[in-house]
Amino acid sequence: MDRWFQVMELPWLNVFLRHGGLRGATVVDALDTLYIMELEEEFQEAKKWVEKSFDLNVNGEASLFEVNIRYIGGLLAAYYLTGEEVFKSKALELGEKLLPAFNTPTGIPRGVINLGSGMSWSWGWASAGSSILAEFGTLHLEFLHLSELSGNPVFAEKVMNIRKVLNRVEKPQGLYPNFLSPVTGNWVQHHVSIGGLGDSFYEYLIKSWLMSDKKDSEAKKMYDDALEAIERHLVKKSAGGLTYIAEWRGGILDHKMGHLACFSGGMIALGAEHAGEERKQHYMDLAAEITNTCHESYARSDTKLGPEAFRFDAGSEAMATRLSERYYILRPEVVESYMYMWRLTHHPKYRQWGWEVVQV
């Protein structure tokens, strides 16, 4: 195996992202990968950095969502793989620093927090000071583990309260809009997307059910009901026979898919694996169709890499028609769906499609 970190010309620990003053996002996010790939030297170097240099006492604008999935998620994965206490203690310490974001009238957290002061606020671009579905809906897996590991129920209570708010609020056509007020608990505008702003909320529902050993019936029902509404209102087929998931803006469909929405092929396949026999094949077929459409967005581009968004209007299908959408930023969602589809069907085309992306 090539030691791919060597191309960075060590010390590679100097090459990493920051979030709100926190250093080392690349290092922490890669801990489990380093361990699984048996890159022992690099893993030990990363562990040493976490022990000696990972400073949590910082000020700056940090995304609650990003800190949770990259730092806490990365630390928890490393802890469960290795049993090293340093990863557990850092995850719990960081989790404590995120709690002030939940100090709102509804308990729906604001999207941005200063880890040093505990002050939190909503993103400036978020409509009317709202919180974002994909952000506050993508905390459940990690926060339940923080309570499990610490014995402190507060983390689980915070994310279970999010469920209560979402179950209480009326959902237009059974759909979950992307913007919710943390003050009133009401939707701020009726924009629904399975791509950016909404995506991982749905993913966390089915995975929360699986993580609970299929005991979290509330998560499963929320997932099943959401998928039913998505299929009824958003899933469309183009004139050329491509199945896609449109966006919904107050009842008006926008016939586009973002690259981020392409995770849904894998998610639907994962859910199909655990659906009733009468629906299992239906959802596997839907997952395959959506994954094929996302593959077409790659195959039809000049570079053979999928664009940030692709459309199904004005005679174009699965192609970026706007300059602002014609870029690729190493998003993994399409390849992620290939991986799920390969694991669940073992059809060789999914491996081939993944290899084609690597070769580009």
Both tokens of residue 85?
């206490």
What mean pLDDT do residues 135-156 have?
Answer: 98
For 275-323, the pLDDT digits (tens) are 988 899 999 999 999 999 999 999 999 999 999 999 998 788 999 999 9
Active site residue 66: yes
Largest distance between two CA atoms of the chain? 58
Residues 172 and 190 sit within 8 Å (Cβ to Cβ):
yes
**151 pLDDT higher than 90:** yes
CATH class name, domain 192-359? mainly alpha
Among 199, 216, 289, 317, the one annotated catalytic? 199
Among 29, 66, 142, 289, the one annotated catalytic? 66
**What is d(CA 146, CA 148) in angstroms, rounded to the nearest whole number?**
5
Where along the chain do its domains lie?
Answer: 1-189, 192-359
Among 32, 203, 333, 336, the one annotated catalytic? 333
What is the three-class DSSP state of 175?
Answer: coil
Both tokens of residue 360?
């580009």
For 7-38, the pLDDT digits (tens) are 333 344 444 455 567 999 999 999 999 999 99
| CA–CA distances in Å: residue 255 to residues 233, 243, 296, 302, 310 | 12, 11, 16, 21, 9
Residue 270: its pLDDT value, please?
A: 98
Active site residue 231: no
Looking at domain 1-189, its CATH architecture is: Alpha/alpha barrel (1.50)
Percent of the chain with pLDDT over 70: 94
What is the separation of C-alpha 97 from the centre of its chain, rounded to a whole number of angstroms? 21
Both tokens of residue 340?
């799920």
Active site residue 333: yes
pTM: 0.93
Question: What is the CA angle 75-27-100, rounded to 5?
Answer: 50
Active site residue 9: no
**What is d(CA 346, CA 350) in angstroms, rounded to the nearest whole number?**
8
Domain pair 1-189 / 192-359, same fold: yes
Among 203, 308, 317, 336, the one annotated catalytic? 308
**144 pLDDT higher than 60:** yes
Closest CA to 223 of 174, 165, 189: 174
N-terminal to C-terminal alpha carbon distance within the chain: 20
Residues 156 and 144 sit within 8 Å (Cβ to Cβ):
yes
